[in-house]
Structure 1
Amino acid sequence: MRHTLPIAPQFYVTAPQPCPYLDGRMERKLFTALQGEGAERLNDALSKQGFRRSQNVLYRPSCAECSACLSARIPVAEFQTARTQRRIMARNDYLKRTATTPWATEEQYDLFRRYLDQRHATGGMADMDLFEFAAMVEETPIRSRVVEYRSSIEGDNNALKAVCLTDILDDGLSMVYSFFDTSDTKASLGTYLILDHINLAIELGLPYVYLGYWVPGSQKMRYKANFKPLEIFYKNEWRVLGDPEEYAATTDPLEVEPIAAQVAKIQLPDTKAY
């Protein structure tokens, strides 16, 4: 009989590359593979510690001199809907939501391309082709859904207006990536998707909606602070954001722990799963 020892996840660090959030800075990521029977449990555990999923990889910013990127989530039971957000919900009440298995379509890709061309023409995804888009959507070892939003207005021919690739965690919904029709600037579809995911989490009895990273000093990430109370993963614990102006994006190499110390503090699920 052959015996094998359980293998814990191995962590690696990417080479530095330009930061997509703060000009003039370099980013690094700490990452591990997401695979095997323990993938779902690992994703659940590390999502609670500031990690995000991209296909078969879990990653967390681990920059040499900067710790500005903070994982953010909304505690849905305490969420306070602002007047502007209520108007956005009412403005988009013609949309109907459907959740499907993670399967990419050309219709989704067409909307994705239009979204990138309008919002992120120079970003890291700008050159993504249909096959790479399909890999982003379909290569997932955990419970994921493609949440589509279509127009219910007669004459719109069931037009696809927005899409979100969403992971279902044991304690919430993680909005992995979303894109939408940008032609109606007053629709605020990005905000609407988050508000509807809060409602979806409530329907499913899940306490959190994970939004990715909030970055002080980044205009791209500023909108997340509008979802109050927002929680951030700061110094290895979740806390309410409070006043966003109290957080600075200043560089301080003394504030950043060595990679070995960061890895040592990561809490893994039962290693019998690996």
Structure 2
Amino acid sequence: MKLIVKFNLVLFLVFAIGFAAVGFFANRLLQRNAKAEIVENARIMMEAALAVRAYTSTQIKPLLETQIKYSFLPQIVPAYSANQYFGQLHKKFPEYAYKEATLNPTNPMDRATDWEADIVNAFRQSQDLTEQIGERDTPNGRALYMARPLKIKDAKCLDCHDTAETAPRTVIERYGSNNGFGWKLNDIVGAQIVTAPIKLPVQRARSVFAVFMVSLAAVFAVLVAALNAMLFYLVIRPVNQLSTLANEVSLGNLDAPDFEMSSRDEIATLAESFRRMRRSMVEAIKMLEA
């Protein structure tokens, strides 16, 4: 087996191992970063919902609170404002969703589905649990959800949610007297749940991974070509020329031209040693003939 073949076999073996290792760790890193990006997007959505709720509570509700005696305006409800805000966002980005899922809501649209009820019950069973993150399948594909508990911390909430008898008349007229009552202070009645798509960041991660691996393979191909050219011109060709000259001398052709090299590397040292050996042989033969 020729030297250049052995060299390339070793090179390809090293590259294959390195390529697989780099690909494995690069893919894990990109996928982890993609998931971190999804979680960060969900967290931004959650904070946006909290900001809308806070704005409604501090800026909108005081202005419209007196109107509840005459007509119930849902705009004073923080949950309604947050849902409306994300409802507009959902029209343009249908993969993103927000819901204040409640076990016993005033508005039936806020009633928790089975999987949402499981999240709410998990918060109710573990009061120290402040956040849940998971994945689930949706009609738009795999999605990540982030949930935080809805806890009754303000006693004013009970003005509308304590009993049907004490609730404002306009609330009963709008939503009826069967739902949204019996809430207690410090009770967890629901959960804020934001949903963000997984496929987009994951697809970007896969695209980056593919480009990275193709680029790595291209760099390797260029490197192999450069190393093979260097090996051929600096080692193999001079060694072949020196081998041919050695064969000529061994067959008795002592007049074969010397092997000349302008470099000062190991091959040049070998060529110089061969020239000295050749001169010594010629002198020894001449002495024997004399």
Q: Which is strand-richer, 1 or 2?
A: 1
Q: TM-score range by the shorter chain?
A: under 0.3
Q: Which has the higher contact order (CA 8 A, sep 6+)?
A: 1
